[in-house]
Amino acid sequence: MSVVDNFYHKRRSVLARKMLSDPIKDEDLNTILNAGIRVPDHGALNPWKIVVIKKNKLKTIDEEVILPEYKKENPNSSKQSLEIESKRLQRASVILAVLSTPVEHPKIPNWEMILSSGAVCMNLLSCAQSLGYAAQWLTEWYAYNNKMLEYLGGRKDIDKISGFIYLGHKVEEPNERRRPDPKNVINYL
Ligand SMILES: Cc1cc2nc3c(=O)[nH]c(=O)nc-3n(C[C@H](O)[C@H](O)[C@H](O)COP(=O)(O)O)c2cc1C
């Protein structure tokens, strides 16, 4: 069977809340990271960065960034939502934060640099899934939070968080989700 039949036509994300956060082998993490940075990139500008967040750093960011920022943005939040926010990142074994870090260029448009960072996200996701890991591309509210952006080394008003690629282990195979009808989204001229 080809990689298309075997993988692309079956690939499916696993929800972060359904993942197990047991450790991931360093060897596999390196494989995933190397696949992530091998993407189309006009002019080889590398206009993106990956920040690897694992072990106690997940907890640190939950406690030092996510929970306080959530409280600031939602002063009347319920006990239940604070409980969720206090463990956001700890759903994963490892999180790969992908930053879009565009550079000034006389010819290559900013838009193409942003697209390339999306390609990094997709390669990380696909590679992790091809190795059998549970993985999901999430932004949630904290991808749009400046404190988070700066904590990850991003420049306010220039860089953006393209996504958090959650990596973990599957408890069960995910159900299929609704997929587009090809005739609604593909046109032949
Ligand atoms: C940029 C981006 C951000 C996303 N953010 C969220 C999110 O915050 N919450 C969510 O439930 N799904 C989010 N998703 C959707 C899921 O990651 C994913 O698309 C969905 O689970 C199905 O993916 P699959 O085709 O890999 O099975 C996001 C997807 C993209 C591309």
Which pLDDT score, from 0 to 100, does residue 167 have? Answer: 98
> What's the mean pLDDT in 89-117?
98
Q: Looking up tokens 């189309």, which residue turns up?
A: 40
> What's the mean pLDDT in 51-66?
98
- Atom 28 (ligand 1) nearest CA: 138
- Residue 123 above 80 pLDDT? yes
CATH superfamily entry for domain 28-170: NADH Oxidase (3.40.109.10)
pLDDT in tens, 141-155: 999 999 999 999 999
Atom number in ligand 1 closest to CA 135:
26
| Partner residues linked to 99 by β-bridges | 49, 161
Distance 111 CA to ligand 1 centre (A): 21
What is the Cα–Cα distance from 68 to 107, expressed in whole angstroms? 41
* DSSP per-residue codes, the chain: --HIIIIITT-----GGG-B-----HHHHHHHHHHHT-S--GGG---EEEEEEETHHHHHHIIIIIHHHHHHH-TT--HHHHHHHTTSGGGSSEEEEEEE-----SSS-HHHHHHHHHHHHHHHHHHHHHTT-EEEEE-TGGGG-HHHHHHTTPPTTT-EEEEEEEEEB-SSPPPP-----HHHH----
Which pLDDT score, from 0 to 100, does residue 1 have? Answer: 73
> What's the mean pLDDT in 116-125?
98
Q: Tell which one of 89, 117, 120, 136 to mutate to probe ligand 1, the residue whose CB is within 8 A of the most ligand atoms.
A: 136
- Atom 4 (ligand 1) nearest CA: 138
Is the CB of residue 24 less than 8 Å from the CB of residue 132? no
pLDDT in tens, 65-89: 999 999 999 999 999 999 999 999 9
Report residue 123 as tokens: 């390669």
- Residue 97 above 80 pLDDT? yes
What is the Cα–Cα distance from 108 to 83, expressed in whole angstroms? 44
Residue 139 in contact with ligand 1 by CB distance below 6 A: yes
Which pLDDT score, from 0 to 100, does residue 2 have? Answer: 87
pLDDT in tens, 110-119: 999 999 999 9
What is the Cα–Cα distance from 116 to 109, expressed in whole angstroms? 11
pLDDT in tens, 3-50: 888 899 999 999 999 999 999 999 999 999 999 999 999 999 999 999
- Backbone phi, then psi, for 138, in 5-degree steps? -125, 150
Residue 137 in contact with ligand 1 by CB distance below 6 A: yes
Domain boundaries, the chain: 28-170
Residue 57 in contact with ligand 1 by CB distance below 6 A: no
